[in-house]
Structure formats: C-alpha cells, structure tokens
Structure 1
Amino acid sequence: MIWFNDNVSLLHYFSIKVLKTGRVPEHIAFIMDGNRRYAKKKGVKSDVGHSKGFDKLTEILKWCSVLGVREVTVYAFSIENFKRTQEEVNTIMNIAYEKLKCFLEEINEVNNLGLRLVITGRLSLLPKDFNAIASSCMIATRRNKKLRLNIAVAYTGRDEISRAASHIVDRVKNKQLTPDDIDEDLITSSLELGEPDLLVRTSGEVRLSDFMLWQVSNTVLYFCDVLWPELTIWNLLAAIIHYQRHAPASKAVMPFSKTRQMFLDQLNNRRLQQRLNEVSLTQ
C-alpha cells in the first residue's frame, strides 16, 4: 500500500515511545520545500524530485500516525507556482492525479486505517479531472477520524482569508449574520485549514511563503536544512522536541452562538455539496 508507507523500525518505535512521554502536537503543518533542488542534486529530471516528494509524504503519514498526531497539513502547490513553466505545472498535476488514483484504488485499506483526505485551495484554477478525483477521495474518506491529511493545492494564505471573508460578507448581506457576529474566532472557524501546533519547513528557507498566515499566530515554527525528499524520522523527532521546548499553553475554546454555528454548518455543507457536484459532472 503506497499511501501509508510502513517504514518504522523497532528503534524508531522506541524513540517515539520515549518522546510521547512529553506533549505531542495534535496538528503538524509542513512546507514541503526542496523537491527541485533534490532532483538537481541527484542529476535527474524535476518530475523525479516531485515524485520522491510524494513518497516522503506517505512516510510522514506513518510516522505521524505512530506519534499520535491527529492532523497533518502540507503545502503542495502555491498559486504562485503557476508561474513556473507549463511543462512543470502539467508534470506536477499529472503526478498528483496518478497518486490520487492510487488512493482510490486502495480506498478500503485507507478507510480501515482511518485516514481522511482533504484537498483545499482555489480549486477553480485546477484541471477538472484533478478536481473530480480529489472530490471522490474526499467524499470517500469524510467519515474517517484517526488522521486527517490536508493537502493545500492552488493555495495561498491570503487567498484563503479573502475567500473566508467573502463568505462572511455574503451572509451579512443576507442577514444571516450581523456585524456584531464577526470576530477573530468566527474568521478562524471560517477558514478551511485549522491552526497547527507545529509548522516544519525544509530546505533551509525561513519564510512562510504565504502559508496559513492567519493560523500560525501561536504556532511553534521549526526550520531545517534538509531537502524535503531527504527528511528522516530523526528530523521529525527533532522538530517534536523543539515543539516540546517552546509550546505555548493550551488555549480555551469558547462555544459559538446559535447564529454563528448555523453559519459555519451551512458553510461546511456548501463546501461538501460543491465536491459532490464536481464528482457528478464527470459521471
């Protein structure tokens, strides 16, 4: 099964068990940087680097599952990445499509493992066949609760915030919300991605690159020099130790009013219906 690579040795299990005596982040975000530099380093085409980057993601999922992490978010493709050559963009989309196709072929095993897949971003910018298969994967796994994987594609943090703001403005215009309902917590809950406890960026860059800008105000940041396809479990465990040293106190969550909760329920239903429509259009 390629989507849940079982590569954890007894030494890894022991190290993880020791680490779990401390606080482990529930949600880890990754900026998967370094696929092209990996390909250049190895003297191979960029598509090999992107494919190796996907393979690394499957390893990360297994490690995080053993650690007890409940949610993983990865920055797979920025809106800015559309400025790359059309050949490279097409290559990345084709690789992603084939990997999602494999995901569906292994859906029974995926569901047994409790993996939920969520693809987020400005999906109107993506090919229709990609959106259709992504929607099929999301619908097929939407009830799984052990580990949630969010893949941000055609995404930037600023775009995510602007889309959430647009939904809120529409509801105010329709009198389903009042201006007094709008606050930091409502905006946070209107976003498609939740707040990560730990954000890891590979390849030596120390920028957020417009990723989860709203969500990371209290997130522990960890930057490492290793290229994404070369990331090891020891690099991840080092990031967890860094988190344990710097994690802030847990934040109390206040319940929403009935009006605001209704808005959020309608927003989530609208997103699900959009996915159902994308699948039906291809059948």
Structure 2
Amino acid sequence: MSEERKSGGGWIRSLCCSILKAGHIPQHVAIIMDGNRRFARKMQYSRVFMGHIQGFDKLLETLEWCLDVGITELTVYAFSIENFKRSKEEVDGLMELAKQKVTKLLDERDLIMKHGVCIRVLGDLELLPPDVLSSVARAVNFSRNNDRAFLNVCFSYTSRNEMTHAVRTLAQGAADGMILPSDISEDVVERCLYTGDSQPPDLVIRTSGEIRLSDFLLWQSSYSCLCFLDVLWPEFSIWNFFSAILTYQKNYSAIQEARENHAQKLEERLYQLNKDCVLAQLDERNKDGVDLEDLVLEYGRHRKQRVEQFIEHIRTEHRLFLERVSPIC
C-alpha cells in the first residue's frame, strides 16, 4: 500500500484520478528513471547503488499508479548497455539488485496474475550474467499469457542496439528466404524492434532535470508527448505523475493529428511499394491489359502473409530462447 493511502490521502488521490479520467488517458507511458546516483549522493548514502534500491521500489509504486488511472502499458529504462562501462562495483551491485528485485516480483506472483500484468524485459539479454538472465526469463515466462496490463523493462538496452538488431534480423530473414528484400518497409522494421508487440508510447517522462532521451525509444517516440521533470527518480511523486498526464492531455489533439498524418503517409508509401513491385514483375513478364489494382492488392496480401509468418518465427525463437534459459515448470 502506498504512503499516500497509509497517511489518509487516498481520497485526494482518488478524486484526482477521477478528474484526469474525464480527459484522454495515455495508454502507454514510458519513463527514463534518471537520478538514482544523484539521489544517493544527496542523501549521503555510503554506497551509490542504495539510490538504485529506492529507484526499483519507486517503479513498483508507479506501476500501481498506472493501474489506478487506467494506463495499460508502462515501459521503463532500467539499465543501459552504456552502464556496463561504470565501475565494476556498481555494475555488480546493479546486477545483484536486479536479481533480487526480479525475485521479489516472482514472490508477488499471485498479485501479478490477479491484475493480469505481463512482464517483458527488452534488450540484448545475452549480455546479462547467467544468473540474472535466468531470473529475468522466469519472470517473463510465468506472466507471458497475461494481457490486461504490460510492464516492459528495458534492461541491457539502447535504441541504437535495438535498431541494429532489427536490421540484422531482417537481413537474416531475407538471406534465409523467409521474406523478400522488397518486403522490408518502415512498418516491418518497427515490428522487428524489441517493442514490436507494443504500440508507440503516448507519453515519455524523464526525471532528474535532464532534457534528452539518452538513446531510449528513439524510433518509437517520434510522435509521443515528451515531459522532462526536474525531480530525481526516487523522489518522483504521484503529483509529478499527474502533472505529466496533464501535459499529455493539453497536447493530445496535436499529437493525434501528427500520428494520423504519419499513418496516412505510411499507408501511401506501403501501397506505392507494392505497386512498384508489381510493375517490376509486369515488365519482366511483358504482360498487357491486366488489372493493376487487383494485382497490387493481391501482392499486398501475399506480402502481408510472408511478413506475418516471419514475425511469428522471430517471436517463437525469442520465446524458445527464454524457455531454454529457464524452463517452465
């Protein structure tokens, strides 16, 4: 139970939730949880990763806030690949802390299943120590069939690594004959990202006062509302959270218009791609008097079928990888 509720402030919180729900609630919120080390120094903790401990606790509290207000997906930046360059003591401490916190999530299994929360860990998981990877896999495996809410933890992650991985996956798929090079388009690249099962975030929050994305969801946040807060992550309060949602609501119309324009242009580019492929085939076959529109639609259906089979293949490969790491009992 949160401190606000313990102290009797629950009715104020409930009232604010009700007011916010009168407007548009973001369905997917992403957070760069920044400021743990500065918080540790501010509090004069003897060890830096004490700030990270409170940061992990704040994550669970924030997930509760999301569920209360009706946000169904939360994505957080927990550990960048760049963080492996920090001191061995801090990295080892963070890895041990991650294992402990994942174990804590496993201890809350009944609560997670009750709320239907699906836990997904996104990033280059093969960079993780075996014991941490095993714990992560267990958390992902036991909750993978839940679909009422989603907690995406970006761990061993950078956006550049994510995009590179997507390109390599597509190149391998083309080399193996699962897709054609001409099948590769913006929408297919997006589905091959670690976040391929998610919609782009509606709202991206960064704490600590820094005004940059630091290699987090660079592709996905092109049409998101960005909110930079001058508060350290462990001190992030529900009022900061409500303030960010209000910022999203103020900018909702402009964000939706930009997204709709982008979706329309994407559809037009995809149609043109299919049309170009059909025209190239017609040139080769030297056929006249054909119904071009019907051929374009037919080609589009075949292309979609190839892409869907390929996406299902890479999802299955990822699932099997996690099951090998931590078999489901």
TM-score range, shorter chain: over 0.9
Q: Which residue of 2 aligns with 1:168?
A: 170
- Which one of the candidate residues 212, 218, 239 is aligned to 2:223? 218
Q: Which residue of 1 aligns with 2:32?
A: 31
Distance 1:14 1:149, change over 3 A: same
Q: Which residue of 2 aligns with 1:269?
A: 316
Q: Which residue of 1 aligns with 2:270?
A: none
Q: Which residue of 1 aligns with 2:92?
A: 90
The CA deviation string for residues 49-86 of structure 1, in whole angstroms up to 9 with x for no partner, is 00000111011000000111111000011011111100
Q: Which residue of 2 aligns with 1:126?
A: 128
> By how many angstroms is 1:263 displaced?
1.0
Q: Which residue of 2 aligns with 1:278?
A: 325
Query: Which residues in structure 2 correspond to 1:82-161 (within 5 Å)?
Result: 82-161=84-163
**Identity, % of aligned positions:** 37
What are the ranges of 5 or more consecutive residues in structure 1 without an aligned counterpart?
none
Q: Which residue of 2 aligns with 1:57?
A: 59
CA distance in 2, matches of 1:144, 1:221: 28
| Secondary structure in structure 1 of the residue aligned to 2:218 | coil
* Structure with the larger helix share: 2
| Secondary structure in structure 2 of the residue aligned to 1:77 | strand
> By how many angstroms is 1:216 displaced?
0.9
> By how many angstroms is 1:265 displaced?
1.1
Which amino acid in structure 2 is aligned with residue 176 of structure 1? M
CA distance in 2, matches of 1:101, 1:242: 35
| Secondary structure in structure 1 of the residue aligned to 2:216 | coil
> By how many angstroms is 1:5 displaced?
5.4
Q: Which residue of 2 aligns with 1:41?
A: 42
The CA deviation string for residues 129-185 of structure 1, in whole angstroms up to 9 with x for no partner, is 111111011010011112100111111000001111111111111111112211111
Which amino acid in structure 2 is aligned with residue 167 of structure 1? T
> By how many angstroms is 1:22 displaced?
0.7
The CA deviation string for residues 226-269 of structure 1, in whole angstroms up to 9 with x for no partner, is 00000011101110111111131154597981111111111111
> By how many angstroms is 1:47 displaced?
2.0
Distance 1:213 1:71, change over 3 A: same
CA distance in 1, matches of 2:30, 2:240: 14
CA distance in 2, matches of 1:48, 1:85: 15
Which ranges of 4 or more aligned residues in structure 1 deviate by more than 2 Å?
A: 4-8, 250-256
| Secondary structure in structure 1 of the residue aligned to 2:208 | coil
Computing the radius of gyration over CA atoms, which structure comes out larger, 1 or 2? 2
| Secondary structure in structure 2 of the residue aligned to 1:200 | strand
CA distance in 1, matches of 2:71, 2:130: 32
The CA deviation string for residues 108-133 of structure 1, in whole angstroms up to 9 with x for no partner, is 22111211111111111111011111
CA distance in 2, matches of 1:30, 1:143: 24
Q: Which residue of 1 aligns with 2:233?
A: 228
CA distance in 1, matches of 2:165, 2:2: 35
